[in-house]
Structure 1
Amino acid sequence: MATLTQSNPVPAHELHIEPNELPKLRSNYGKYIESDSVGWMRSTPIDTPMEEIRRRFEEDGYVWMKGVIPREDVLDMREHYFSHIAHTGILAPGTSPRDGIFNPTNDPIAHSGVGGTDLPDDVAKVAALTSAHTTPIYLAFLEHPHLRGFICDFMGWKKDVMVQRTMLRHNVPNGLSTGIHYDRIFLRASPIDFLTAWVPIGDCSPAGGGLMYLSHSGALGRAMEASFMERAAGFSDADRINAFNMNMAKDGQLSHDAAALYEELSNEWDEKGVGPKGREMKWMVGDFKAGDVVFHNPYLVHGACKNEDARGVIRLSTDLRFYEEGTQVDERWMRFWEPNDGL
């Protein structure tokens, strides 16, 4: 073994730095998750050899890449978004859109930006959320060469195709956040699996509404999807691929209570053979920084922690889905998001 010196340091991708103690976490509803049911995600520096990145993705179902996009480019996008919706009164007076601090005198639910049925009643606020998906600055951000170049290298594709329906969402403190799901639920019209990129637009701690992933749950998601589709065998084609069909919850989510779902699933973890033997189930979280991107497979069970950031920081992120060029995409998603589009 080589001697580790200042001139011969440990490669960055081999370092393991234990993060600070985890905060208390919960989802939209229910109690706080037991501390022994939560763990830290494995982060991967951008200089990690591609073979190791792919190995981690295969093993974990996700890979949390550090510093994919230059930090200032991400913060510029954050500033643009909150400048775009500042007229709704979402920001604390005297604060910068780049910081994205919530006005504590506002009702959090009235400023929800989760999407679907959780949109605010105010027509002007909904219009701002909708138009944010098509501004030239946002569309240019989606084409960022550091992001798109990494995806092709990682997947071994000559060219990628990103679905046009992206999920640009903010999550204010104590507001509604994304429920627990796996992504295949919502993109069933293509037989081809896709890659999801979750891009935090700004720093995002676990207590600030960051994503949490159920460890090694890809097999569980596949088993759930097989069960859903088996029960939908007699449905019409449109109903069979619908994320809101009678097999699903009304909003397509598996749950909005991470603690209760954990207790339910952990009882079946080994009994039904859907979890890797000898591996403990945990909700895995990260302390994400602007520039990080998490890539995950379409069956990994995940959702958002409730935003309880003590400083009032609004979580902002976008969800992107990618296919290899030339494969069959879910054509329903090849148009920009708008409210009540049925997806």
Structure 2
Amino acid sequence: MAVPHLTPDAAHELIYEPQQLPNLRSNYGGYLDQSSVGWLKKTSAHISLDEMRMRFETDGYLFIKGLVPREDILDVREVYFEHIRSTGILKPGTSPREGIFDATQDPLVHNGVGGRDLPEDVERQKLLESAHTLPAYLAFLEHSDLRDFIRRFMGWDKDVVLKRTLLRHNVPNGLSTGCHYDRIFLRAGEDFLTAWVPIGDYTADGGGFMYLVGSTDVGKAMEADFMERAEHLTPEERIDGFNQNMARDGQLSHNVVELDADIKAKYSSSKRRRWLGANYGAGDVVFHNPYMIHGAGKNEDSLGKIRLGTDLRYYREGSRVDERWMRDVWRLDDGL
């Protein structure tokens, strides 16, 4: 289906970043070349749904500014860091609402990105797990500004948010989420909508998500290749994001420079693909499709701010969901 050009009024609602490009890197390796980076297009929450849908179809993502009231998001941030304050993660004299890391601590001890890279201390693990059941966080998952928008944007009468959500922090100079596309971990149901919500304010070097624009076709090609090589596996093994064809933690890579070069070599085309970062604010939301390649940048925030965010997945009610993600909230030993 042909995608129409933006109307002048809609183009006016695109909010652009400064000329200076962001410096983006991942857990390992150097910074991406400046010719390979750019800014996410920020969309006002007040343009028409048709224009938003067009942008989502064209770009694979929709970055909406101020969708949720700022203070509601900061309330969740405060509750989360108060919950884990006993680990010593916060800089003395700062508040949980600020979420400033104590730079005298070992970043790896305070890892909170989930998955298979958890801190060794059992008590810290339990706090990360129980954070997913904090009343303030559970109330946010039902936030009317978010849920109502999703139903209108997707044209759904009712929506379902997967029970297993991901609430993750990463401290400056600690580990960040690797590069991946979401379908790797949710292969048992239909396609879905992801919402990534930054719980705080972060500059582009503060560990927020970076997206490889125009990568939906690459994600689909990668998934088709994974499925072809998994034909001999059992049905349970085929849908496993950690099966023998996948990396240990299911990620495509923790080195975005190497991944970028690999994609350019294997999926060359006339399409220009760049990694896009953003200066995120509390209340912003990024929606993306299941095949768009993305990952968290290295948190190198100059003020020591801890990045906190949550990953939410939505289906139309009545569609086939990945039931593995509906059994319980995120648990240490759930195998997903």
* Equivalent residue, structure 2, for 1:120: 119
Aligned to 1:68: 67
Give the counterpart letter for 1:77 in structure 2: V
Letter in 2 for 1:321: R
Secondary structure of the corresponding residue to residue 154 of structure 1:
helix
Corresponding residue number in structure 1 for 2:144: 145
Q: Give the corresponding residue for 2:206.
A: 208
Aligned to 1:265: 263
* 23-32 or 303-312, larger mean C-alpha shift: 23-32
Distance in 1 between the 2:258 and 2:228 partners? 25
TM superposition score normalised by structure 2? 0.95
Q: Deviations over 1:304-324 (max 9, x none)?
A: 100000100000000000000
Change (3 A) 1:264 1:12: closer
Say how many residue pairs are matched: 328
Q: Letter of the aligned partner of 1:238 in structure 2?
A: E
Is it true that 1:84 corresponds to 2:83 in the alignment?
Answer: yes
Alignment of 1:27-42 (within 5 A): 27-42=26-41
Q: CA deviation at 1:59?
A: 0.2
Note the alpha carbon deviations across 1:97-151, whole angstroms, 9 max, x for none: 0010000010000000011221111111111111000111110011000000000
Superposed, 1:207-286 pairs within 5 Å as 207-270=205-268, 278-286=270-278
Q: Deviations over 1:63-117 (max 9, x none)?
A: 0011110001001110010011111110000001001000001000000001122
Task: Give the deviation of 1:14 after TM superposition.
Answer: 3.1
Q: Which runs of 5 or more structure 1 residues have no equivalent in the other structure?
A: 1-8, 271-276
Aligned positions of 1:123-202 closer than 5 A: 123-190=122-189, 192-202=190-200
CA contact (8 A) 1:163 1:320 kept: yes
Supply the distance in 2 between the matched residues of 1:177 and 1:18 (Cα, whole angstroms). 24
User: Alignment partner of 2:167: what SS?
Assistant: strand
Check whether the contact 1:179–1:253 (CA below 8 A) recurs between aligned residues. yes
Aligned partners of 1:220 and 1:38: how far apart in 2?
Answer: 18
* 1:9-28 equivalence runs, <5 A: 13-19=12-18, 21-28=20-27
Q: Distance in 2 between matches of 1:309 and 1:322?
A: 31
Quick check: 1:13–1:48 contact (8 Å CA) kept in 2? no
Deviates more, 1:21-30 or 1:239-248: 21-30
Aligned alpha-carbon RMSD (Å): 1.4
Displacement, 1:18? 3.6
Shift of 1:267: 1.9
Q: Report how far residue 158 of structure 1 moved.
A: 0.5
Secondary structure class of the residue paired with 1:267: helix
SS of match in other structure, 1:164: coil
> What is the aligned counterpart of 1:314 among 301, 306, 309?
306
Query: Would you identify which runs of 4 or more consecutive aligned residues in structure 1 move more than 6 Å?
Result: 9-12
Instruction: Kindly indicate whether the alpha-carbon contact (under 8 Å) linking 1:13 and 1:44 is maintained by their aligned counterparts in 2.
Output: no
| Offset at residue 279 of structure 1 (A) | 2.7
Q: Deviations over 1:311-341 (max 9, x none)?
A: 0000000000000001111000011101121
Q: Which amino acid aligns with 1:337?
A: W
Counterpart for residue 274 of structure 1? none
3-state SS of paired residue (1:118): coil
Deviation at 1:16, TM superposition (A): 4.3
Cα separation, partners in 2 of 1:234 and 1:77, compared to 1, 3 Å? same
Structure 2: where are the runs of 5+ without partners? Answer: 1-7
Amino acid in the other structure paired with 2:212? L
Percent identical: 60
Pick from 279, 294, 299 the counterpart of residue 302 of structure 1: 294
**CA separation of 1:12 and 1:90: change in aligned 2, threshold 3 A:** farther
Counterpart of 1:308 in 2: which secondary structure? Answer: coil
Of 275, 282, 285, which residue of structure 2 is paired with 1:290?
Answer: 282
Distance (Å, rounded) in 1 between the aligned partners of 2:318 and 2:103: 48
TM-score, with normalisation over the residues of structure 1? 0.93
- Is the 2:36–2:274 Cα contact (8 Å) retained in structure 1? yes
- One of 314, 326, 331 as aligned partner of 1:338: 331
Relative to structure 2, which stretch is displaced further, 277-286 or 11-20? 11-20
Q: In the superposition, relative to structure 1, how do residues 229 and 16 fare at CA in structure 2: closer, same or farther (>3 Å)?
A: same
Instruction: Give the 3-state SS of the residue equivalent to 1:39 in structure 2.
Output: strand
SS of residue matched to 1:284 = strand
Question: Is 1:96 matched up with 2:95?
Answer: yes
235-244 or 22-31: which moved more?
22-31
